[in-house]
Chain A
Amino acid sequence: MQFEAISIEGLSHRFLSRTRPPTTALTDVTCRFPAGKVTSIVGPSGCGKSTLLLIMRGLVKASQGDVKFLYGNGAGALTPGDAPRMATVWQSFNLLPWRTVVDNVAFGMELQGVSKAERREKAMDAIKSVELSGFENHYPGQLSGGMKQRVGLARGMVMSPDILFLDEPFGALDAQTRLYLQEQLSSLVEKSAKTVILITHSIEEAIFLGDHVVVMTARPGKIAASLDVDLPRPRGIDVQNDKRFGELFSEIYGLLRDEVRKSMMN
């Protein structure tokens, strides 16, 4: 049985509040995210794209509809099955501030009861792969934003997830750090051939990293369009000079423009 896709049908979500009427974050979202590909989700702020990620990851229960993980039997038929292994990288890093880098990276394995020696060894490898060797015993408060996010990436990757969720992973970083990490992530993703769901508000980032780009509407969010990014891989940062990149950018911005305006009106 091969994991083939995440499938969402007729998914809606409302937030209840004590003081205000409920907010509809997502309405009737239907979408399919193929395995082994990078799908970028862009949308105006507040459109519910992070909520969609939390629902897919199983951390929030949707008010209506659900998420299925489809497995193929090799003959073309798809059947829903158990959730594969998943890990998330967060915009605000969410590292435990009282744990050192190595203890943060090893946290997931510690929760699973992996032995101390084994989790330390794996964590050290992961730290090396994000070029943070020498910082194992630093606390998150002693690291820059870009370094923190590399710890976040190592913490997720060390769990060897089938699906990697990236919730605006570079949103809190400065422009140069962001460019550098985008390049690193791009090569990492190309090598590992993992299923990646990337939430972002940057159109460039969505195209540069994505095989597909899903565009969402303003709140209540739904899928406005889904585009294929037909740019060759491996991609360097100079793919942004490609004529096709510019066309995709204009097309996505054209779709987003009115939605952004709507999101500012309400």
Chain B
Amino acid sequence: MTDVNRSIAFQAEKPASPPQADERLRDDTWWYGPVAMACFLVFWEVSVMFGSIPELFLPRPSVVVVTLYDLFATKGLVYDLGLTLYRIFGGFFLAAFVGIGLGLLMGMSKRIYAIADIFVAALYPVPKIALVPLLVIWLGTGNSFQIALSALGCIFPILVNTIIGVRQCDEGLILAARDLGANTVQIQRKVVLPAAIPAIFGGLRLALGISIILVVAAEMQTARYGLGAKLQAAGQVLETGQVFAILLLLAVLGILLTKGQDRLGGLVNRWRAN
């Protein structure tokens, strides 16, 4: 009896497990994706090996990786990769600069919106790949053509999202800023622009994907160098291994760029995280 009492008293004295400063919620699903991908690759490797599928149709993943290494080591693929990245980001940043700038102006000024809106409405739905003949006449088939095409594709998602972001700004925040004495420029710099950042980031994310698509597609049609050009050349001589290797490179590129952008967006929007 006394023992029980003592143990209760003892327990009461001990502070109930103190909250630890480093206790955090953890994301425990991060490895699901990589593991699923690994399972898929093993399945692919094994079924090609034992299913006697000719390599001309479907090379094994291990062969694809070796081919990719080979392309880098002996065929100078790094030059093509650099060139493609230059075109992708050249167009992307050009579009981001013009798109965000024009979007802010259109979102904040009714007059500018009224003038520019009809041009946007006319150009937006034109398939950008349909502009290739005209751009080739104007710019030739060099880098400036690739960058112009990519920029034309990128600018609309960025522009439209920026306008939406600016317009969605909570009217109450603007009232509160005016109440505290903000002038028009201060309201736009310190309230409207930060409020539009998440929408702008959404636009940038869409645009980068479009830039990759357009640059590779244009390279396949007209270029001599670049990942798209090499992909087309490999396909024409039935080098299926090389085709897969370049596709693999594009897929990895896509993952890296998307994840990198997510990281950046997370930093900018860290106030949203609880």
Q: Which residues of A contact B (CB under 8 A)?
A: 54, 57, 59, 86-88, 90, 92, 94-99, 107-108, 110-112, 139, 141-142, 155, 159
Task: Indicate whether B272 reaches chain A with its CB closer than 8 angstroms.
Answer: yes
Report the stretch among B36-44, B173-181, B231-239 that lies at the interface. B173-181
Alpha-carbon distance A265/B234, docked complex (angstroms):
76
Closest Cβ of chain A to B268, distance in Å, is 9
* Bound form: Cα–Cα A59–B187 in Å: 14
Which residues on the B side are within 8 Å of A99 (C-beta)? 271
Are A92 and B172 touching (Cβ within 8 A)?
yes
Give B140-176 as 1s and 0s: 1 = Cβ < 8 Å from A's Cβ atoms.
0000000000000000000000000000001011011
**Could you name 28 residue pairs across A and B whose Cβ atoms are closer than 8 Å?**
A54-B175, A59-B179, A88-B175, A88-B176, A88-B179, A90-B172, A90-B176, A94-B172, A94-B173, A94-B175, A96-B173, A96-B176, A97-B271, A98-B197, A98-B269, A98-B271, A99-B271, A107-B177, A107-B180, A107-B190, A111-B182, A112-B181, A139-B271, A141-B271, A141-B274, A142-B274, A155-B180, A159-B180
Binding site for A on B (CB under 8 A): 170, 172-173, 175-182, 186, 190-191, 194-195, 197, 269, 271-272, 274
**B178 CB to nearest chain A CB (Å):** 6
Q: A96-B176, A96-B191, A99-B271 are in contact. List 16 more A-B contacts (CB 8 A).
A: A88-B179, A94-B170, A94-B176, A95-B176, A97-B271, A98-B197, A98-B269, A107-B177, A107-B180, A111-B177, A111-B180, A111-B181, A139-B271, A141-B271, A141-B272, A142-B274
Q: Which residues of A contact B191 (CB under 8 A)?
A: 96
- Please, which residues of chain A bring their CB within 8 A of the CB of B172? 90, 92, 94
Q: Which residues from chain B contact A96 at a C-beta distance below 8 Å? A: 173, 176, 190-191, 194
The answer to whether A111 and B175 touch across the interface, beta carbons within 8 angstroms, is: no
- Closest beta carbon of chain A to B159's beta carbon, Å: 23
B195 contact set on A, CB distance < 8 A: 98
State A141–B178 Cα separation when bound (angstroms).
Answer: 22
A90→B180 contact, CB < 8 A: no
User: With the chains together, A155 CA to B178 CA distance in Å?
Assistant: 13
- For residue B190, which residues in chain A have a CB less than 8 angstroms away from its CB? 96, 107, 110-111
In whole Å, how far is A31's beta carbon from the nearest beta carbon of chain B? 21
Chain B residue contacts of A57, Cβ below 8 A: 179
**Most B Cβ at <10 Å: residue of A108, A155, A159:** A108
Minimum distance in angstroms from A147 CB to a CB of chain B: 14
B178 touches A59 (CB 8 A): yes
Question: Which residues of chain B are within 8 angstroms of A142 by Cβ–Cβ distance?
Answer: 274
Q: Would B180 and A87 count as touching, CB distance under 8 A?
A: yes
Pairs of residues from A and B, 10 with the lowest C-beta to C-beta distance, nearest first: A108-B180, A94-B176, A94-B172, A139-B271, A88-B179, A98-B271, A111-B182, A98-B194, A111-B181, A92-B172
Cα distance, A108 to B183, chains bound together (Å): 11
Task: Kindly provide the distance from the CB of A14 to the nearest chain B CB, expressed in whole angstroms.
Answer: 19
**Contact residues in A for B272 (Cβ distance below 8 Å):** 97, 141
Chain A: which residue is nearest B183 at the CB level? Answer: A111
Closest to B180 in A: A108
A172 and B180 alpha carbons, distance in the complex (Å): 22
A155 shortest CB reach to chain B, Å: 7
Determine how close the nearest CB of chain B comes to the CB of A54; give it in whole angstroms. Answer: 8
Question: For the complex, what is the distance from the CA of A200 to the CA of B15, rounded to whole Å?
Answer: 46
Note all chain A residues with C-beta closer than 8 A to B176: 88, 90, 94-96
A97 to B272, CA, bound (A): 8
User: In the complex the two chains form, is A111's CB within 8 Å of B179's CB?
Assistant: no
